[in-house]
Every structure is written in C-alpha cells, then in structure tokens.
A and B are shown apart, each in its own frame.
Chain A
Amino acid sequence: EAGVTQFPSHSVIEKGQTVTLRCDPISGHDNLYWYRRVMGKEIKFLLHFVKESKQDESGMPNNRFLAERTGGTYSTLKVQPAELEDSGVYFCASSQVASPSGNTIYFGEGSWLTVV
C-alpha cells in the first residue's frame, strides 16, 4: 500500500512567486493534515481536512496560504506570493481517525520550500 506522497520534494522560488504543493494521502483516509517545520522550530499544525471540508484551519499563518482538497482525495497548498519566512518543510499527513495520535497518523516525506 502506498504511503502519503508529496510533490515536489524540493522547490526553490523567488520572493513574490507562487508555489503549489501537492499531497496524496493514503487511500481511504478521510483526514488530511498539513504541517510546517521552519528550521529549528516545532512541526507546526496548519490545517485539517475531513474529506473535502476544512475542519480546522487555525494554524494557517495568513491569507497568502490557500489549501484545497477538491473531491476529498489529494490536497494542494498554494503560497502566493511567497515570502522569505515561508521557507521550511511542509509535511502532509493522513489518518482514518479525526484525532489521531501514536501510530494512527502517517506522514509524507515533506516538501522542502526555499524562498530566496
């Protein structure tokens, strides 16, 4: 069974440009999460989808970030326009349960974003 996959694995863009990150969750997982880790800091929660609906978007830093999950399958996270402080690793995770812990949540390998 395929795990959580993310694309691209690495992206370098200039300040002011747009980047779209994609996440394909494990098949059958209704819950999809986006997290971000800025260098040396915690893995911070951004947003939680249940199927195509945004269950919790309290972690989204500002309106330059837009997440979608049309059809309840894959999700995209768009940053427009990108700023230097957006650099970091963006992790996607999925689970079958809404409040996962332990081994019930599965992470992708992350999309490394560098804004220059």
Chain B
Amino acid sequence: GQSLEQPSEVTAVEGAIVQINCTYQTSGFYGLSWYQQHDGGAPTFLSYNALDGLEETGRFSSFLSRSDSYGYLLLQELQMKDSASYFCARGGNTPLVFGKGTRLSVIA
C-alpha cells in the first residue's frame, strides 16, 4: 500500500512550536515531501526528505525516519499566517501520493 496517515486537525498558539506527524506505508517509497495549502490556493512545497534526519528551512523543519516509516513537519515561532492545511506526500515510482492533510489553526 501507499497510504499516509496524519492528524486531521491541530491547534497551536501564536509564537509556539507545533509538530505534525506523518506515517506512511513503505512500498515503493523514495522520499517524503511536505506541502502547505491555504484555502483557495495551490499546494506549495515546504520541505523534502529522502534520507533519515532533519532538514531545516527557516522556521520550518522536516524529519524522516525510514526505519520507522515516519516523518514530521516542525513549525517554529508560529504566526497567524501559518494557519493552513499541511500535507505530507510520498514520492516514489508512482506519482505523488498525499495524506489527508492536517488543518493547523494558529490562535492568539
């Protein structure tokens, strides 16, 4: 299988740190990507992990553990504009397969 599991909703306070987890099935897995989608907008690329470990891009970091079939997206210093849906997606020998998305609400 190629499905991914991520929480449906997360709420966090402005300025805080939030972690969005994603587990995936390993068949044909190459790497894990993260996308952000604001309502009415296009999914936009945030981060990608092909190897185990942490990738850092500004306030966003992504982690992958291939042995655990698990990854997460870490958002630091949360801002109101970070309220959006976040999708993990697996790349492989087939087109991108997405999770159901995590709706992040940042509150004051």
| Interface membership of A56, Cβ < 8 A | yes
Interface of B, secondary structure class, is strand
Interface of A, secondary structure class, is mixed
Instruction: A8 to B50: give the CA distance in the assembly, Å.
Output: 35
Instruction: A91 to B42: give the CA distance in the assembly, Å.
Output: 8
Contact call B87/A43, Cβ cutoff below 8 A = yes
| Interface membership of A62, Cβ < 8 A | no
Tell me the number of A-to-B contacts counted with CB atoms below 8 Å.
71
Which of B47, B90, B100 neighbours the largest number of chain A CB atoms within 10 Å of its CB?
A: B100
- Minimum distance in angstroms from B37 CB to a CB of chain A: 8
In addition to A33-B95, A35-B98, A99-B93, 7 A-B residue pairs with Cβ atoms within 8 Å of each other are A42-B99, A42-B101, A45-B94, A48-B95, A99-B92, A101-B48, A105-B96
B interface with A by C-beta (< 8 Å): 4, 8, 30-31, 33, 35, 40-45, 47-48, 50, 87, 89-101
A interface with B by C-beta (< 8 Å): 3-4, 33, 35, 40-45, 48, 56, 91, 99-103, 105, 107-110, 112
What 9 A-B pairs have minimum CB-CB distances, sorted nearest first? A101-B91, A102-B48, A43-B98, A107-B42, A42-B100, A109-B42, A103-B45, A107-B43, A42-B98
